[in-house]
Amino acid sequence: MSLLVKGGLVFVNGSFVKKDILIGDEGEIADIGASLKGDETFKATGLLVLPGLIDPHVHLREPGDTYKEDFVTGGKAAIAGGFTTVIDMPNNKIPTTTNARLDEKKDLAKKALCDVLFHFGGTDDNFAEVKKANPASMKLYLGHTTGGLILRKPDSLERHFKEFPKNRPIVLHACDHSENEAENLKETYKSITCFLSLAKEYRRKIHLAHASTAHEITITKSYPLCTTEVAPHHLFLSTKDREKLGFLYKVYPPLRSEQERIMLWNSLEKVDCIATDHAPHTIEDKEEGAAGFPGLETSFSLMFDAANKGLVDKEWLVKAMSENVADIFNVEGKGRLRKGFAGDVTIIDPKKEWVVERTELQTKCRWTPFQGKKLKGKVRTVIKSGKVVYEDGEFV
């Protein structure tokens, strides 16, 4: 049956306009216009109608660490946060570095409520597996991470840059894990400079993950084929939150100084996309020093609340969390409300005021560094492939 989304302010061609959207019975957008008719009608009066959001950077922990998260709980967290598509990272406890492991992940992810795509991990010796898997994107690590994916041989790094198809992005993890901030930033900038040098030599697309300082953005924007993402926790938290967060505080890249946080905000218009870097850990793991924050269910509302306060342009924000991500990672038929595209729609109540409460989260870890934060703007309804799957906090 077709579904008509009627009477909302629809984000089309970079701006909000009052339109109706008709999603056909095959789950694709059949028409966008006025006075349309469908078998069923969803009244969106007073609501903002967005393309289904896309998150390019999540850690859903399956296989290997499903006690932290899995594709079912992670998929629900994504939908509750307005994301209809996510791209999962390869650095699991069981890393995604072979074709067989990628196939296993694809099969496991079929149970997710959202669409799950995958970055493939590059190592010092898996060149044949990269060719066999033929992934849409690859992640390279120059800093320590779960799964032992750090590249140790400069020749291996260069070979991946040379052999991976140039029209597909290589995602760069340049974060150093030193606890000394000056040393951390020095090594991070050094890694980015190395990546950019190779990218320029081989004239290829690259994408910098989780930029946490304005200087990283300045460096990367010197190369037109480099895109950049920022995670909301680096925009809303800083070292001044250390005492408040206690043992939850640790994350990579680490939270920066308050001055760096403000400078990052001032550079945000140069950033290509917002990524959650959703990295759930249990409370017990955090007590033992695990690094990472969950973010799928708070990221959009944090950013939209900032837009309500005039800190960021709403139109820029929607693009940074939908169509820009689709363009960077070649996600066809998603990221825009357009005839023939997927009927994935995120509907926002722009006036809804709410308080972040960990007990209401879908993520398996059930905590957030934004506990108790008051926000304005909330995901009201999510439509996936033309079907309402989430409405007013409940899964349909």
Measured in degrees and rounded to the nearest 5, phi and psi for residue 110 equal -65, -20
Q: Residue 346 burial by CB count (10 A; 0-12/13-18/19+): exposed, middle or buried?
A: buried
Q: Tell me if residue 277 is catalytic.
A: yes
DSSP character string of 35-67: S---SEEEE-TT-EEEEPEEEEEE---TTT-TT
DSSP character string of 247-269: GG---SSPP--HHHHHHHHHTGG
CA angle 323, 362, 375 (to 5 degrees): 65
- CA dist 226 and 368 (Å) reads 31
Would you call the peptide bond into 63 cis, given omega within 30 degrees of 0 as the criterion? Answer: yes
- CA dist 14 and 317 (Å) reads 10
- Whether the CB-CB separation of 189 and 216 falls below 8 Å is answered with yes
**368 contacts: CB under 8 Å, gap ≥ 6:** 293, 294, 297, 298, 356, 358, 361
Sign for the pseudo-dihedral over CA of 135, 171, 76, 98: positive
DSSP character string of 7-21: EEEEEETTEEEEEEE
Q: What is the largest CA-CA distance in the chain?
A: 61
- CA dist 302 and 317 (Å) reads 11
Q: 3-state SS of the chain: helix, strand, coil percent to 5?
A: 30, 25, 40
**262 contacts: CB under 8 Å, gap ≥ 6:** none
* Helix, strand or coil, per DSSP, at residue 222: coil
> Token digits for 19?
């339109």
- CA dist 353 and 369 (Å) reads 19
Q: Choosing from 55, 277, 305, 344, which is the catalytic residue?
A: 277
Q: Which residues are catalytic?
A: 277
